Amino acid sequence: MYFFLLFFLFIFLGISIIAAILMLSLLVGLVQTRGVPFISTAAKDFDKILSVMQLKAGDKLYDLGCGKAHFLIYAASKCDICGVGYELSFWPYLWARFNVWISGAKVKIYLKNFLTADLSDADMVFCYLFPEAMVKLEDKFQQELKIGAMVVSNSFPLPQLKPAKTLDKILVYRF
């Protein structure tokens, strides 16, 4: 009897500790990313985004805040590009690494703040972030991106620059 009680107590404690760690790490992720939540671009929009990107084989595509890396993996499978994803939150990063491993896609994922990443060899940058992050990125894009590089943003505009093209909520910038 006591054995069963102890057994269930241990199970209950174990589950509670795991749940607490998960909640805490999600909270830490949200603080680190200054509130940019972990919401994925809808899969139904992937082809629309690729149609404005016009990627060529061998192009380098960066996803800044790549989440689970679903878009990068899809793009790599359709267009034979090299994908690079930066993700600051631990669980989405781990999930992205797992997804890339399962898919075998030509995609690299880094647990890193994209504001400290070097974007100088990017042909294409994709982002789905928040207005505050777009303010910081605008300067970075202007300083680092090579001539001819493009930025495609889901939903959120760069504050100063005028998009070269807009398709529904997809904004396209040329540098």
Ligand X SMILES: C[S@@+](CC[C@H](N)C(=O)[O-])C[C@H]1O[C@@H](n2cnc3c(N)ncnc32)[C@H](O)[C@@H]1O
- Interface residues toward ligand X, by CB under 6 A: 29, 33, 36-41, 63, 65-67, 71, 86-89, 92, 113-115, 128-129, 133, 154
CB nearer ligand X, residue 83 or residue 92: 92
Sequence letter at residue 165? K
Taking CB atoms, the residue at the shortest distance from ligand X is: 65
CB nearer ligand X, residue 99 or residue 149: 99
Instruction: Locate all alpha helices (DSSP H) within the chain, ordered by sequence.
Output: 2-32, 46-53, 70-79, 90-103, 131-144
Shortest distance, position 161 Cβ to ligand X, whole Å = 20
Shortest distance, position 91 Cβ to ligand X, whole Å = 9
Strand partners, 173: 151
CB nearer ligand X, residue 75 or residue 133: 133
Q: Which residues contact 140 (CB under 8 A, 6 or more apart)?
A: 115, 119
CB nearer ligand X, residue 41 or residue 59: 41
Q: Are 35 and 98 in contact (CB under 8 A)?
A: no
Strand partners, 110: 86
